[in-house]
Amino acid sequence: MQCVIDIVEREKHDFKILSTEDSLLDLFAELYGRGKVYKIPNVFENFGNFKTLLSDFFHLFQHKKRLIKEIGAFQPKNLYFFFLGWNGLASWLIKEFSQICNIYYRPKVNVDLLQTDKSCRMQIKTAIASAVCGARLRSGMYYGYSLIAIDKRFLEKVRARDYLHEIDHCNIKRFLSRKFDYLQKVRVMILNGGMYNVEEDEYARIMKSVSIALFTKYEAFEICLKDHPNFPVVELEAFDKCLKVPIHLPASLLCYHCDIVIGYSSATLYEAANMDKKSISLVKLVPTTKPSQVKEIMDYLEEHVENGVIEYPADASGFDRVLEGERT
């Protein structure tokens, strides 16, 4: 999200934000207006359902014809994209418009960490996706998850250039301050939920001790609770008086108004650290039924820290020391 906002605010040209994801389109419609977003049909999501796959192929020509007409009517000159996975018709659209547009790539993740998935199943899926896209795609694996990915061959085919500007975080913060003035007083963000192999009662117990420590330093209105959008909501009575932000607002954007971000394994923790915020993971503090995941999560977070630090307190006193500014 930061990448998109940064480019829109930096370039100062007329724009459209295109996506297959309804949640992203709803967010950007709230930020910029419904007329500034465009829905790309979300096809070929389920290769295992033959009926759905057949329907997607049946409607493919119509989808492509409509996209060429409607996107062409915008008369785009520059096209910016950020994803690693092929994203269905989005990749095809980039390839088609690379003939008349300048294409810029600003990846959200380190693409050098992409590995090849040699399984027969993924090779077949990738072959189908390549046929749909009209360009060769890669059967990939990223942090253990299989995906159909773009790679250097695709980037060369569309003549993609690197978008070299660093994200202007100050500019993004100013923009968000204008849009969400009720966040001005927030200093601490709690990333609630989003854990595997954790007992809810144990998690609630630990979070109660976290709340006690926080309330010795901060008022309730200075703390916001951000529930994970893809997990069942965990009710935390200890934070009832705190600000509960809308679930569709991305935590990565809320970071701009916080001094401290507290969570378990969320990517927002390393994003906050990279913004020089105080970032605290509770992975050592919250008991787990799978002890090996503690190291796995820490390794995952640390691989993405470019600058700054993520703290991993192992007990309540360690958490208190982190709040006071000491390293654990």
Question: In a 3-state reduction of DSSP, which class is residue 222?
Answer: helix
State how far the Cα of 26 lies from the Cα of 30, in Å rounded to an integer.
6
| pLDDT band, very low/low/confident/very high, at 39 (cuts 50, 70, 90) | very high
- What average pLDDT does the segment 143-158 reach? 88
- What average pLDDT does the segment 54-81 reach? 94
| pLDDT band, very low/low/confident/very high, at 83 (cuts 50, 70, 90) | confident
| pLDDT band, very low/low/confident/very high, at 317 (cuts 50, 70, 90) | very high
Asked if residue 314 has pLDDT above 70, the reply is yes
| Of 68-77, 86-95, 108-117, 247-256, the least confident | 108-117
Q: Residue 35 has which token pair? A: 């007329």
State how far the Cα of 276 lies from the Cα of 261, in Å rounded to an integer.
11
Question: Could you report the per-residue pLDDT of 152-202, keeping only the tens digit for each?
Answer: 899 999 999 999 888 888 888 888 888 888 888 899 999 998 888 999 899
The predicted structure's pLDDT at residue 324? 86
Asked if residue 300 has pLDDT above 80, the reply is yes
In order of start, what are the domains of the chain with their CATH numbers? 2-170 (no CATH), 180-323 (3.40.50.2000)
| pLDDT band, very low/low/confident/very high, at 110 (cuts 50, 70, 90) | confident
The predicted structure's pLDDT at residue 47? 83
Mind giving me the DSSP string for 247-304? TTS-HHHHGGG-SEEEESS-HHHHHHHHTT-EEEE-TTTS--S-THHHHHHHHHHHHT
State how far the Cα of 133 lies from the Cα of 153, in Å rounded to an integer.
13
The predicted structure's pLDDT at residue 270? 95
The predicted structure's pLDDT at residue 315? 94
- What average pLDDT does the segment 89-99 reach? 94
